[in-house]
Structure 1
């Protein structure tokens, strides 16, 4: 892979998981007391308005990868405009960068965020109400903070959540397994427990890059994406594509920019070291059946017809390929720290963009199922925004979500979450709160995008942990 392409993918993944963040305007800083420090090795940032309204929002950020370096500042909201608005309205904000900062530091975050909450209550004051909020990986952290500490949090807001991170790793293995089996069956590429992570990564990336040059190769990339129900919409600044060729191209952006890189051999050592072995398995998985249930089936059929490739023959090859087994100890670690239980000790509001291929919207559907089994469905509301991209919310949408959750906390009843009402409320905040970052732009270009909540039923999570 060329240096330019690798740099582009690195930036895309950084944007994908929320590592690039614009600093809060100085005016908001002047109206707040800022506390910075370290608790047991974890850096933290706290901002308390001079006229604090008694509410604390404890924010959990997404995944950071070491090669990106540390962000300019600790994130206190998904959008910087949201942070400024909250401070202006009297909300206190706090966040830990987690011990070690990088990787799937969920275990550390669950300790470090509570330690910060304890510090806040001792040094600043006990909040009248405490909200835990998070995006991407931070969403499951926020949920598990509430699940593990009933009574400490009055509400939970999650955005673009990966509620079953273990299931995501299994789904990623499905996609990479299909790519390797169909594009380079004889290549020496370790998808798990890699002996040479960087070498295996380079080989896999080269195989996929070559496949993108032909219709047949693009068809097989589409099949891989469909196994993970990856949508054919990636670009936040463009409407959802209707032409199959455009949908295939945008789905391929997800497969190559998020999964080949973000879950490939070079990403394996971090998660396997943390979990104590390989947590991922495709033993017993019937890929023909998985494709038949996928929302991407029709797109795959179109791609295979265009490429003149025999879909049934490729599914036979996948069926015959030797499977990969997980280490039970590693699976247990993932279930303990990276899978939400759905117990809802306090009200939960989730938000997802419909074109999210980084944390598929099926994750939200899966979480709703867990709440119906293990919690109180009356404490859950789930919302969707019609937009491509991962975590591509504008501040207006984030603010309205927070206001909706706070209304539920204060009144004991959910206000209307009808998409038209939410869209109108977000629109009323004005154009200053409508910027959306384009994930798949190397410079992270931003554009004003109108708020657009919508009714949506996500496809099922293809590889749920339970």
Structure 2
């Protein structure tokens, strides 16, 4: 029986499904095309000045090819400093690319490879199997290990090798250091998802909550919305997206969006170039954008088809118990309560409805296969993580969870986390990226972490000059000047750590 307090939004929103999906797909596809250089930069993008005070350095030597079905790129500058940066890109959902190739970048943004090679670093990256699309984690460490073999044989043995992971690529960067500790000297992550098992669990919780609170449980064809083992995953995805888009337009819907987002500590700071949103409405609208673009389209029912095929079943479980405790830990309790009060909704009734939802249980073999590729926090090499405080695409609560894991099973002296006070996902500037890499190198060379005081890190980044303020924002597809913004930050607790 359907509970009467649920928003029966399906029939109300079915007619806008096509419009909403088309708009969101166009936005994310434009982002993908911009990353691979197929879309022109917007006319309003801040131009990057070309230095004229010194002759341009000789271009690095570039290598490319394919190893065991995975394409690779390598850049080696003249005067190579001996450090190899082995980069792992994040999750590229095939539904965002429309048949276009995935970007084969060698750092956090396209400009990163020039920054790193200009400073003497060799950079290399496997694109991974399946042309880099969808869930590459299960094969990624092997792909990077083969590339490291190739580099040693054809370029030279690195004096140091640093694995560098972006977003879900952080899983690969950290795991590689655990699997081949004698070959990896340090790990750097940016906007990292390290506990991908726990993150996919929490995302499934949000998908269930969206279905339970914002729909009548059926898609546009009157069939049940299926989140795992879906017979029509696109119809299920479309129903959730339409419900979220409609909910964002009402106080009641926004209150429920804030509750859904709290299940994975998803922030409302969606656009880097906007200040941190103030007020319940603005915050919930930003959360709705994350829920649609990242967790329903990018990592929702359609994405799980590939994950389930790769792992031989559904690897994720829901846990919607103890929700009052989880809400308190999310850091969003005050905002959620205020939103519910303003909307005249009963928060207790919605929490009870979620706790009564039928649990989804992982297939044991698929769960075990996923866990086999999860970092365990035991790497003997130092790890430095870099994260924006407003990241809703990879919530920084995951950094706190990983730190707790390292304290339990590893050496906490080997891990440090840096934070930049900025919104959006992966929105660190070139200077912040380079300063983080140099900080890790110093730890590798001396055995001690240098000072991580934000003012000193900002000073080091500013000293690099104005070109290093370039910060790419995937939402607007523009590169902006942003001053370094290192800050002290304590993220909330992760809601579903899998360790």
* Contact residue 176 and residue 191 of structure 1 kept, 8 A: yes
2:35 pairs with 1:20: yes
> 3-state SS of the aligned residue for 1:450?
coil
129 and 170 in structure 1: CA distance in 2 versus 1, 3 angstrom threshold: same
Hey, what does 2:403 align to over in structure 1?
Answer: 368
Deviation at 1:446?
A: 2.2
Is residue 32–residue 103 contact of structure 2 (8 Å, CA) maintained in 1?
no
Partner residue in 2 for 1:171: 202
Q: Show the counterpart of 1:445.
A: 478
User: 3-state DSSP class of the match of 1:293?
Assistant: helix
Q: Is the 8 A contact 1:347 1:409 kept in 2?
A: yes
Match of 1:192 in 2: 228
1:459 aligns with 2:459: no
Q: 2-side partners of 1:221 and 1:214: how far apart?
A: 10
1:306 to 336, 342, 346: 342
Deviation of 1:273 after TM superposition, in Å, equals 1.0
Q: Distance in 1 between matches of 2:407 and 2:234?
A: 42
Aligned mate of 2:268, from 227, 232, 250: 232
Residue deviations 1:397-430 (CA, integer Å, cap 9, x gap): 0010011111111222211111111111111112
1:287-298 to structure 2, matched below 5 A, reads 287-298=323-334
Distance in 2, matches of 1:65 and 1:28, equals 37
CA contact (8 A) 1:19 1:62 kept: no
Aligned ranges 1:85-164 → 2 under 5 Å? 85-100=115-130, 101-164=132-195
5+ residue gaps, structure 2, are 1-15, 39-47, 219-223
Give, in whole Å, the separation in 2 of the partners of 1:31 and 1:200: 49
Report Cα offsets for 1:140-173 as digits up to 9, x if no partner.
1100010100110111111110001111111111
What is the 5 A alignment of 1:235-314? 235-283=271-319, 285-314=321-350
In the TM superposition, 1:401-440 aligns within 5 A as 401-440=436-475
Please, what TM-score do these two structures have when normalized by structure 1?
0.94
Q: Which moved more, 1:400-409 or 1:201-210?
A: 201-210
Taking the aligned partners of 2:452 and 2:26, their CA distance within structure 1 comes to 34
Contact 1:151 1:345 survives alignment (8 Å): no
Matched, 1:220 2:248: no
Give 1:73 shift. Answer: 5.1
Do the aligned residues in 2 keep the contact of 1:16 with 1:390 (CA within 8 Å)?
A: no
Question: C-alpha root-mean-square deviation of aligned residues, in Å?
Answer: 2.3
Aligned residues: 462
> Per the alignment, do residues 62 and 456 of structure 1 end up closer, same or farther by CA in structure 2, a change over 3 Å counting?
same
The answer to whether structure 1 residue 48 and structure 2 residue 79 are counterparts is no
For 2:19 and 2:467, the matched residues in 1 are separated by 34
For residues 242 and 280 of structure 2, the distance between their equivalents in structure 1, rounded to whole angstroms, comes to: 25
**Structure 1 residue aligned with 2:111:** 81
Cα distance in 1, alignment partners of residues 191 and 59 from structure 2:
30
Aligned counterparts of 2:350 and 2:393: Cα–Cα separation in 1: 25
The CA deviation string for residues 19-57 of structure 1, in whole angstroms up to 9 with x for no partner, is 8256999x9895211111111111111111122221111
Structure 1 residue runs of 5 or longer lacking an equivalent are none
